[in-house]
Amino acid sequence: MNSAQEWRSLVGALRSLHQEASREAALATIVRTHGSTFRRPGTHMLVFDDGEVVCELSGGCPQRDILLRCLEAIDTGQAQVVSYNAESGMDVLMEMGCGGELDVLVEPLATPGSAAFADALARGLEQRRSLWLATLFAVDGATLTPRHLVSHGQHVLYDGLGDPAWTAAIADAIGTVDVMPAATRRLSAHGQVADVLIEPVEPAHALVVIGSNAAARALLPVADLLGWQLTLVDQDPQRLRAGSLPSGLATVCASPGRIREALALDTHSSVLVMTHNVEQDIAYLAALRDSPVAYIGALASRERAFRMQSEAGFADLRLHAPAGLDIGSETPTEIALAVVAEILAVLHRRSGAPLHRMQGSIHG
């Protein structure tokens, strides 16, 4: 699946296509995988008629062949599902070098209305909603012009299916779950069976760092590489004017007593407290204890961490202090890597253990 950063690029490009009738494009989407593949179902690549590519399928996927298929689809206006496996596309499969198999949906976007679903995605992501994108691309084994549905839980934001029965079948498949990996599901309606790719689309993760200091200036660029929305908080406005900070960084001058009203926190947010003043850290943590964030942590020694947890009122393991994974970090940049890695592990519900010691699928 695509990252939030990739979705931002894709949605922007799709919306420009939706608004400009002079350009045509095709959307390539991985709809099925088997075995070891670099990208998973729900990964998209947009190819314009002049060969411009948005969100390359790099790192082993047969991108060159898929690009040619996209240009062909733009010319013919026909959607197709291309399989790269032991029976077809063997030369390209060998190029992948990972032994896996792919099914790729190639979808021509010949008219502005073909990408209309992107507007609903953009609105939902701007409102920081967790979205579902459903793409119905085959019925009874026959590939057809894909149709899309965008929903927020059970609330439909865009319905391009034109058939209430299929809409209801997709709603039943999504159910009320918050987390479900992107996958193609076979759904039934009208006595027919449809192949529908259902994928989650999440807003960009937001990281709030409390404490403007050298450690924060090392951490923020690392998080910026992931496309996270970044906010730096400090009580002293002078410290917020420090140089060498990522462009697009938001700064907030707020005391512990004002921190909740100053920040719009949600389940797609993380907070790291690192003022290097234990009393201030405790005050900020106490104010944020009941916030809906996915991760809350603090830089601390084990002794200070115990005091923080006790005095800030954290009765369980929700507070990640000392923050970070055990990678032997000493320098500010190493600590930044350890902390960001731990946040990713929490977001993805993974242990952070070495891959070579794990059994089963790497992607889970």
Per-residue pLDDT at 317 exceeds 80:
no
Residue 15 three-state SS: helix
Per-residue pLDDT at 282 exceeds 80:
yes
Phi, psi of 31 (to 5 degrees): -105, -20
Rounded mean pLDDT, 333-352: 94
Q: Give this prediction's pTM.
A: 0.88
Where exactly are the structural domains of the chain?
4-201, 206-347
Tokens of 64: 């060159």
Confidence at residue 355, expressed as pLDDT on a 0 to 100 scale: 81
Distance CA 346, CA 294 (A): 8
Rounded mean pLDDT, 270-298: 96
Per-residue pLDDT at 59 exceeds 60:
no
Q: What's 24's DSSP letter?
A: -
Tokens of 278: 């234990």
- Mean of the per-residue pLDDT values of the chain: 90
Contacts 24+ apart (CB under 8 A), 346-354: 346/270, 346/294, 346/295, 346/320, 347/205, 347/270, 347/294, 347/295, 349/179, 352/325
Please return the burial class of 174, using the count of CB atoms within 10 Å of its CB with bins 0-12, 13-18 and 19+: middle
Between 248 and 195, name the one with better pLDDT: 195
> 206-347: CATH homologous superfamily?
NAD(P)-binding Rossmann-like Domain (3.40.50.720)
Q: Give the lowest-confidence range in 83-97, 249-263, 350-364.
A: 83-97
Going by pLDDT thresholds of 50, 70 and 90, the confidence category of residue 315 is: confident
Distance CA 225, CA 343 (A): 14
Distance CA 170, CA 186 (A): 10
Tokens of 114: 């073909």
Per-residue pLDDT at 268 exceeds 50:
yes
Q: Give the lowest-confidence range in 43-47, 181-185, 299-303, 315-319.
A: 315-319
